[in-house]
Amino acid sequence: MPSNPAPAEAPAQPDLTPDATGPLRSVLYMPASNARAMEKARTLDCDAVALDLEDAVAPGMKEEARAALVREAQAGGFGHRRLIGRINALSTPWGANDIAALAAAPLDALLAPKVDTAQDIAALSAAMDAAGYASTVALWVMIETPRAVLALERIAAMAADTRLAGFVLGLNDLAKDTGIAQLPGRAAFLPVLVQALLAARANGLILLDGVCNAIDDPARLEGECAQARELGMEGKTLIHPSQIAVANRVFAPDETELAEAQAIVAAFADPANAGKGALRVNGKMAELLHRDMAVKLIKQAEAIGAR
Ligand SMILES: CC(C)(COP(=O)(O)OP(=O)(O)OC[C@H]1O[C@@H](n2cnc3c(N)ncnc32)[C@H](O)[C@@H]1OP(=O)(O)O)[C@@H](O)C(=O)NCCC(=O)NCCSC(=O)C[C@H](O)C(=O)O
Ligand SMILES: [Mg+2]
């Protein structure tokens, strides 16, 4: 007699269709004023490319960079890489024109910096609607001000009524505005990372980690990627091509994880275990929630493989 009956609503066959949105392990920023970087990005193994108009572009180059971003995006050639455009804040002289101009660029998401409040999300989303963005273009926002961190839940909840679909951490700006030191291990940032993750997950948003400034320190990058993955983030924003391989590896399921996941799915699919809600698989308890997590991990690996 089964000792742990399965909940009545548990699906008999898990859906193993690959995730259509694809992975976001490595999101490489580059200044939209840097033609060479944008050309090179079309050949790099990153999951997404973030063309920046904000902090990587000097004030005197903003208009030129904006035109270049639209031109490069329209020229295409980015293949599987998702295309993100980071605008200047609406409070700057360039923000409104950035939103208007980038409506002509075939982007997957518009990334807005320095948001503070839920009202900022409403204003950005309304501005995208007014500018005529396709309904498929998502709004992602940087979480990089003390006010945004304090309002994380209210900001994330705007996903229900706006284009908001993602958070990207901006720990350089947060360090600047708070005095929190950017040290290996990021211990002082942990409460922020966890709060951002909880707010994102509670509202169906993706969460991408902030950049690692230490281009020549792959061990530090690896540590930050491992920490972010442990915290459940989808991937990491990057600033240099040399950082892509590490992020792609760390944010992908490894062979051991995949084998464990496949064993759990197989165990629950075994007719001998029909009606059971908890099993012993390779010496560990596996419940239906672990089966669901295993299915998700397998889908993730398939989506990466499909790339
Ligand atoms: C950081 C850099 C200025 C370093 O530039 P440099 O030293 O010139 O790079 P390399 O000589 O090592 O470049 C080697 C080749 O790689 C290409 N390259 C370099 N960076 C990129 C890139 N980001 N994307 C694509 N290609 C890149 C070079 O062209 C060389 O190619 P080749 O000619 O074939 O040899 C520079 O890496 C850089 O500008 N990085 C991006 C900076 C950026 O976008 N910053 C804004 C986002 S980060 C941020 O704002 C964080 C957040 O808001 C927060 O608050 O934390
Ligand atoms: Mg920033």
Pocket test for ligand 1, best of 38, 172, 240, 244 (most atoms within 8 A of CB): 240
**Confidence band, pLDDT 50/70/90 cuts, at residue 150:** very high
CATH numbers and ranges of domains, the chain = 1-20+253-307 (no CATH), 26-250 (3.20.20.60)
Give the number of the ligand closest to the Cα of residue 114. Answer: 2
- The closest-lying atom of ligand 1 relative to the alpha carbon of residue 30 is 44
Tokens standing for 306?
């499909």
Residue nearest to atom 19 of ligand 1 (CA): 240
* Distance of CA 58 from the midpoint of ligand 2 (Å): 14
Residue-wise pLDDT for 249-302, tens only, equals: 999 999 999 999 999 999 999 999 999 999 999 999 999 999 999 999 999 999
* Distance of CA 212 from the midpoint of ligand 2 (Å): 12
Question: SS3 for 60?
Answer: helix
Pocket test for ligand 1, best of 239, 242, 243 (most atoms within 8 A of CB): 239
Residue nearest to atom 17 of ligand 1 (CA): 37
Residue nearest to atom 27 of ligand 1 (CA): 37
**Does the beta carbon of 37 sit less than 6 angstroms from any atom of ligand 1?**
yes
Q: Give CA–CA dist 265/293, Å, rounded.
A: 10
Q: What is the CA 303 to chain-centroid distance, rounded? A: 15
Whether residue 55 contacts residue 33, with contact meaning beta carbons closer than 8 Å, is answered with no
**Does the beta carbon of 144 sit less than 6 angstroms from any atom of ligand 1?**
yes
Residue-wise pLDDT for 21-75, tens only, equals: 689 999 999 999 999 999 999 999 999 999 999 999 999 999 999 999 999 999 9
**Does the beta carbon of 28 sit less than 6 angstroms from any atom of ligand 1?**
yes
Token pair 């320190």 is at which residue? 217
**Does the beta carbon of 241 sit less than 6 angstroms from any atom of ligand 1?**
yes
Calculate the alpha carbon distances from 124 to 107, 154, 172, 287 in Å. Answer: 16, 15, 23, 42
pTM passes above 0.90: yes
**Confidence band, pLDDT 50/70/90 cuts, at residue 9:** very low
* Distance of CA 123 from the midpoint of ligand 1 (Å): 31
* Distance of CA 260 from the midpoint of ligand 2 (Å): 38
Q: What is the CA 76 to chain-centroid distance, rounded? A: 22
* Distance of CA 252 from the midpoint of ligand 2 (Å): 26
Phi, psi of 90 (to 5 degrees): -60, -25
Residue-wise pLDDT for 216-228, tens only, equals: 999 999 999 999 9
* Distance of CA 102 from the midpoint of ligand 2 (Å): 20
Whether residue 47 contacts residue 19, with contact meaning beta carbons closer than 8 Å, is answered with no
Token pair 């804040």 is at which residue? 89
- Which of 76, 37, 83, 82 has its CA nearest to residue 57? 37
**Does the beta carbon of 169 sit less than 6 angstroms from any atom of ligand 1?**
no
How much is the pLDDT for 18?
35
* Distance of CA 2 from the midpoint of ligand 2 (Å): 55
